[in-house]
Amino acid sequence: MATGEKRRTLESSYIGRDIFKNYWLGAHKWKQEGKLVAWCSGNVPVELVHANGVYPLYPESYSAMISAQKMAREKCEKTEAMGYSMDACSYFRVNLGMDHEDPRTLPFGGLPRPDLLLTTRLICMTQYKWWQVLSEMWDVPIHVVDAPFLEGDINPHQMDYFVSQLKGLVSFLERHTGKRMSEDRFMEVMTLSDRAAEVWYEVMDLRKSRPCPVATREMVGNVFPLVTLLGTQPTVDFFTALRDELREMARNGQGAIPNEKARLALDNIPPWHDLSFLTSVEERGAIFVIENYTCYAWGGRIDLSDPWRGYANKCLDIWPNYTIERRIQIYAEQAREYHLDGYIFHSNRSCKPLSTAQQEIQRNLLDRAGVPGILLEGDHADPRAFSATQAQAQIETFLEMLGL
C-alpha cells in the first residue's frame, strides 16, 4: 500500500494517497456518527455496501499496510501465541494480532470494531473461515455472499444463483440499516463503478507504452480505491487524473525510468513487507510494468442495460475463477501487448488460489510463448517466509539471463 512521502513519481498518485488516508480515518468518523461499519473480506461486492450507507472496511488492506510499515511480524507472533498455525493466512494473523492493542499505537487509530461481518466465497475459503472466527469471538452478525465455482463460462443456473446472492446481500444490509436501497442509488453506484473501471482499463493500456510511464511499485498502491471505493465519485476523479497524467507522459515518450531495457510483470499479491525488489531492478534498466493483482481481482465493466446480471458478471470475472489454461493464454497475450521480457511469480504461502497453479503457468509460458519466469518463495504479509537476499539473488540471475 502507499506509504512514505517521496516514493511517488506521479503527481496524481498523491490524490490516491489522500484517498487512502481519508478512507481509514473516515471509518472512525462514520462510526462516531452512529452509522454502521462492516468488515468486508476480499471481493465482497463493495458497491452494494456503499449503496446501503454502510461503511465497507477491508481488513486485508489494513494488514497489507501494517506489513508495509514493517509491523507485521509482531502481530503474527501474537496470533500464533494464541494457538493459531503459522500456515494460516498472514492477513488474518496480522489482523487478530492487533485485537487487544491500543488503537493509538496503530496507523490511523486502528480499525473500528465492525457492526456487521460480510464475507464471500468469491476468491477464497480462508477469509470465509477468518470471518466466522471473528463472528464467534465478537458475536457480530455475519453474512456470506455465496458464489458459484466457475470453470469457463457462467451458465444460466449459476447466474441466477449469484444474482440471488447479490440481492440477498442487499436484503441483509437493509435489515440492519432499516432503510431500503433505492433503485436510483443502485444505478448510481453501478454507473460510477463502471466509469471507474473504464478509466482504469485506459490506465492499464497506457502502461503498454514504451517506455512505460509508471511502474508496479506505484500502481499496487494506486489500485486501492478499486478495492474499497468502487461506486464513488472520488475514485473516478482520481483514476481520471491518473490517466491524464500517464497519457501526457506517453505522448511525450516519457518513461518512469531513464533508459528502459527490459520489461517485467509480477504475478500474485506483492510481499508488502519488502517491495524493494520492485524498484531495485530499475538500477539495471528493468522495470515492472504490469501485474495481475491490479487487473483481474477488482473492477470491471458493467453492462448497465442489464445491471444485476452485468454486475454479477463483473464480480465473477476474477483470476481465481479462471482455469489454468485461461491464465496461461492471458499471460501469453499480456506478454505480447506489454512487450514483456519475463515474469516474476511470487509464490505466496498465504494465498493458495493465486499460487497453486504458478508452476504450471510458468512452465507453459516458457514452452508455448517463449516467455521466461522465475518463482520467488514468499508471503504477502509475513516477512519471515521471505528471504530478501535469496529473492535478490534470483532476480539478479534472471536479469543477467535477460542480458542486463
Partner 1 sequence: MGIFWDYVPEELLHAAGALPYRILGNTENVSEADRHMPTYVCTLMRSALDQALRGRYAFVDGLVVSPLWCEAMHPLWELWRIHAPIPWMEALDLPGSTEPTSRPYFARELARLKLALEELIGHEITPEALATSVQLYNEGRRLLKKLFHLRQDRVSLLSSADWAHVVLASMIMPKEEHNRLLAVLVEALEASPLDDGDASLRLHLTGTVLIDLNFAQVIDEVGASVTSDDLYTGTRWYWDMIDETVAPFEGITERYWTKLPCPARSMPKVRFNQMLDFIKLGRAQGVIFLTEKHCDPHIFEDPLLKTWLENMGIPCLQLETELALRAVGQVRTRVQTFVEMVRKGG
For residues 197 and 230, what is the distance between their CA atoms, to the nearest angstrom? 9
For residues 94 and 331, what is the distance between their CA atoms, to the nearest angstrom? 32
Instruction: Compute how many residues bind partner 1; rule: CB under 8 A.
Output: 45
Is 95 a binder of partner 1 (CB under 8 A)?
no
Is 400 a binder of partner 1 (CB under 8 A)?
no
Indicate which single residue of 41, 61, 95, 347 sits in contact with partner 1 (rule: CB under 8 A): 347
Is 216 a binder of partner 1 (CB under 8 A)?
no
Shortest distance, position 193 Cβ to partner 1, whole Å: 24
For residues 23 and 12, what is the distance between their CA atoms, to the nearest angstrom? 17
Is 331 a binder of partner 1 (CB under 8 A)?
no
With a CB cutoff of 8 Å and minimum separation 6, the contacts of 82 are 96
* Contact indicator for 148, 68 with CB cutoff of 8 Å: no
Indicate which single residue of 1, 15, 64, 88 sits in contact with partner 1 (rule: CB under 8 A): 88
End-to-end CA distance of the chain: give it in Å, rounded.
29
Q: Binding pattern to partner 1, positions 31-70, x when CB under 8 A?
A: ----------------------------------------
Tell me whether residue 232 or residue 350 sits nearer to partner 1 (CB atom).
350
Is 125 a binder of partner 1 (CB under 8 A)?
yes
**Where does this chain touch partner 1 (CB under 8 A) — which range of 140-148, 184-192, 268-276, 393-401?**
140-148
Q: Which helix (H) or strand (E) holds 301?
A: none
What are the DSSP calls for 267-328, one per residue? ESS--TT--HHHHHGGGGTEEEEEEGGGTSSS-----TTSHHHHHHHHHH-SGGGS-HHHHH
Shortest distance, position 124 Cβ to partner 1, whole Å: 6
Is 176 a binder of partner 1 (CB under 8 A)?
no
Is 7 a binder of partner 1 (CB under 8 A)?
no
Q: Binding pattern to partner 1, positions 220-259, x when CB under 8 A?
A: ----------------------------------------
**Triad 206, 211, 212: Cα angle to 5°:** 40
For residues 142 and 333, what is the distance between their CA atoms, to the nearest angstrom? 40
CB atoms within 10 A of CB 295: 18
**Where does this chain touch partner 1 (CB under 8 A) — which range of 88-96, 261-269, 295-303, 310-318?**
88-96
Q: Binding pattern to partner 1, positions 354-393, x when CB under 8 A?
A: -xxxxxx---------------------------------
Indicate which single residue of 55, 91, 92, 186 sits in contact with partner 1 (rule: CB under 8 A): 92
For residues 31 and 39, what is the distance between their CA atoms, to the nearest angstrom? 12
- 497524467: which residue's cell? 245
With a CB cutoff of 8 Å and minimum separation 6, the contacts of 326 are 152
With a CB cutoff of 8 Å and minimum separation 6, the contacts of 234 are 19, 225
Indicate which single residue of 352, 372, 388, 396 sits in contact with partner 1 (rule: CB under 8 A): 352
**Backbone CA torsion sign across 270, 275, 281, 285:** positive
Chain contacts with partner 1 (rule: CB under 8 A) = 82-85, 87-89, 92, 121, 124-126, 128-130, 132-133, 135-137, 142, 144, 146-149, 151, 157-158, 161, 164-165, 168, 323-324, 347, 349, 352-353, 355-360
